Amino acid sequence: MKTIQQNNSTLNQLPPICRMNLYRRILTQFRYVGTELFRRSICLFMIFFAILFTNFTGSVLSCTNILVSKGASVDGSVSITYTADSAGFFPQLSIFPAKDHKPDAVMIVPENEFHPEIKIKQTPHTYQVIGVIWEAGTSHGDHFPRQGCINEFQLAIAETTFGGHEDLVNPKAAINYPMLMTFALQRAKTAREAINVMVNLVDEYGYCDEGESISIADTKEAWVFEIVGTGPRELSKGNNAVWVAKRVPDGEISVHANQARIGEIPEQNDPDNCFYSGNIKKFAIEQKLYDPNSGKPFRFDDAYGKIDAKSKRVCESRVWSIFNRAAPSQNFSPEYHRGNKKAAPYSWSIKPDKKLSIADIMALMRDNYEGTEFDMTKGIDAGNYGTPRRWRPLYWKVKGDENEYAWERPISTQQTGFSIVTQSRSNLPDPVGGILWYGVDDSFLTCYFPLYCGISELPKSFIIGSIREFSWDSTWWVTNLLSNYANLKYSVITPDIIAVQKELESKFFALQNPVEKTATEIFKSNPELSKQYLTDYSITQAELVAARWKKLAIDTFTKHNDGYVRTQEGKYPNEAAAYPEEWLKLVLKEKPTAFKLPVEKKHALDRDFFEKSARKIFESGFDNLTIQKDIETKKEKSKCINKIIVDVRLNKFDIFFADAELIESLANKTYDTNKTKTEIAKSIVLINTQTVPKFVQFAINWFNTGKYEDKELEICKRVLETFIETEKNQSKK
């Protein structure tokens, strides 16, 4: 998925294909101006302007796909994941229903300055697809506002944009990547059929988009299809695109994240594992993207991917993280994604240390490099509450510094429109076996819920709303609002969100087996009723998430107010949530004296220490007083002790303030334990235990137990001495 360019220019807030569409609209204003030669000159100027403008500003590509083969999953599912990442994305869940078409039915791509009107032939029948519609009038909603995710035969598709060489975009072509994905789902039942559909479409109508990696999964296999254009030119079959398709070996997983991932290809097409367009090497040689005399093997990613240190940092880091967490035993090195030119690229696929469940795959999609040296919740860049979010632009410079820098780019990110995890299973009927686990906004804080691929209706909360206006009725907006609020005090607020997330998702996993068993039984005699059963179930769970997230948002805003964390009893503590100590150390490193208070002469051990120790002495002594046996409950005992502490304070007994000699003896451990015991014993002889306050009785009884620490001996001694001194002073009066 393309992201919005990071620049102050409004024009540059569009991804390249959208800017190209804008240029097309601008050029229509020149339709009747000057000669044909003049108009064509302007046209070419605008194309090169678009290319240069894109190169100058740079782009940050932002989607992540994981592909899990049948043999790598716990239950034999084939799964793919997808984060649709880009600022301003507002997905509206949609069903593109199955439909029969007349023999002459076509879809129209309107004419523009680059090509005349193009008619794309419809097939006699298109299959039902669940996907999203991008809002009209936004940068993502004009050219082709639909994007399919899964069809009624469990065929699932996702993508990440790798961009590649901008001059390979062909504005004269008609097909972009959302068209490829959606048309493939509407016309194919298997992954290999989907690849053939996409190849035939671009062969006839051309490919007008940037370099794209498309993940495809059916009930048996997972494939990646990578494609680039062949530059501005007239369409001609066999030369409208360069493409390659590669299967994920069974028992393994693969990942791509906005960087071409297919490397070396076999000398001959291998339809079972890897096959490609006939021009794949020839065109690269013509464009000087590959030198056949270099002695190096031809690699699709090297030739067409435009890989550099910047793209490795924000793309291959995600690949490394997923591989590293799925197979920690393999000790994947970070050297490649850190830009070490000598480091080898990561493998096309790996075998995970253990087979993955759907919950495991979701966990892989929730990642901020926690626990690694790139942990985004640590350091001054994480702010005072460890937020892993970094606001755009990802690439940045500082005045006076020639270096360019890049924030880490995690799998979880704030500008995710929606994310999915799919399941396709050959052991179940299609309406039961295919699931689109769907979540909106940041994948780390979203809640995934199941949408079965054969359902006929969708949850209202996920099909309404607009990016132009917040609405409590739109779950996308509620989720987005809560996630943004959580980023203010990430380490304090997110645990509450994750607790509800785990509660709901655990429930969905627990229900999955019995729900599917029931649906399968119904399917045997009444397939339509089975679909309706799954429709009702899917909508119910989705609306449950919507309701819980709205309540969670309200509860969160109430609980975390003005920096305080409200208690369950509705009270506010005296202090707000403390700043993390690691961050405070960074603050002091930055400003070592700015917040420092003047040094005052003060005892090394404070009043709190003495009060806590005295309280322990009183409680232990309390237990050994026979006169207190009528107080049985802990609550009554606690009340009694609290009253004694208050009485001591009110009577101004200076028990909790030690003199310098005592503090020094406790701090340096220079006191003599046996001597202290003797002095306490002498003090007891001087005290009439029948008439002294209870706190003195408690201290004496505690001493008589013989169970104490050395420091507490000194405190007990001080308690008794203070009382004796007080008595002496009163007798003098």
The pLDDT tens digits for 661-689 are: 666 677 667 778 888 889 888 888 888 77
What distance in Å separates the CA atoms of residue 467 and residue 667, rounded to the nearest whole number?
63
Query: pTM (2 decimals)?
Result: 0.77
Tell me the residue range of the domain where 714 lies.
607-732
Hey, which residues does 68 pair with through a beta bridge? 79, 253
Q: Is the dihedral of CA 135, 139, 145, 147 positive or negative?
A: negative
82 lies in some domain: yes
pLDDT tens-digit map of 559-609? 998 888 988 888 887 677 788 888 899 899 999 999 998 876 655 555 666
679 lies in some domain: yes
CB 140 within 8 Å of CB 89: yes
Of 28-37, 598-607, 724-733, the range with the lowest mean pLDDT is 28-37
427, 460, 477 - which closes a domain: 427
pLDDT tens-digit map of 253-302? 999 999 999 999 999 999 999 999 999 999 999 999 999 999 999 999 99
Q: Which of 360, 438, 602 is nearest to 93 (CA)?
A: 438
Identity of the amino acid at 98: A
Q: For all residues of the chain together, what is the average pLDDT?
A: 86
Q: Averaging pLDDT over each range in 9-23, 230-244, 607-621, which range is the top one? A: 230-244
572 lies in some domain: no
pLDDT tens-digit map of 398-423? 999 999 999 999 999 999 999 999 99
Q: What is the pLDDT of residue 58?
A: 37
427, 457, 476 - which closes a domain: 427
647 lies in some domain: yes
**What does each C-alpha distance from 636 to 266, 368, 569, 628, 647 come to in angstroms?**
82, 49, 22, 11, 16
389 lies in some domain: no
Q: Which two tokens stand for residue 688?
A: 């009439």
Q: Averaging pLDDT over each range in 63-67, 137-141, 389-393, 636-640, which range is the top one? A: 63-67
392 lies in some domain: no
Identity of the amino acid at 223: W
pLDDT at 8 over 50: no
707 lies in some domain: yes
The sheet with strand 156-163 has its strands ordered as 91-96, 129-134, 146-151, 156-163, 211-217, 222-228, 242-247, 274-276
pLDDT at 55 over 60: no
Q: Is the dihedral of CA 684, 686, 688, 694 positive or negative?
A: negative
Q: What is the pLDDT of residue 646?
A: 75
Q: Which two tokens stand for residue 54?
A: 């894109």
- Across residues 502-509, what is the average pLDDT? 98
Hey, which residues does 82 pair with through a beta bridge? 420
- In a 3-state reduction of DSSP, which class is residue 173? coil
pLDDT at 59 over 70: no
What distance in Å separates the CA atoms of residue 586 and residue 590, rounded to the nearest whole number?
6
CB 490 within 8 Å of CB 580: no
pLDDT tens-digit map of 608-655? 667 777 778 888 887 766 555 556 666 777 788 787 777 766 665 655
What distance in Å separates the CA atoms of residue 328 and residue 351, rounded to the nearest whole number?
11
Cα 375 vs. chain centroid, distance in angstroms? 13
657 lies in some domain: yes
- Across residues 233-242, what is the average pLDDT? 93
Cα 172 vs. chain centroid, distance in angstroms? 38
CB 676 within 8 Å of CB 633: no
* Number of domains forming the structure of the chain: 2
Identity of the amino acid at 165: H
What distance in Å separates the CA atoms of residue 438 and residue 707, rounded to the nearest whole number?
61
pLDDT tens-digit map of 536-561? 999 999 999 999 999 999 999 999 98
- In a 3-state reduction of DSSP, which class is residue 468? coil
427, 455, 470 - which closes a domain: 427
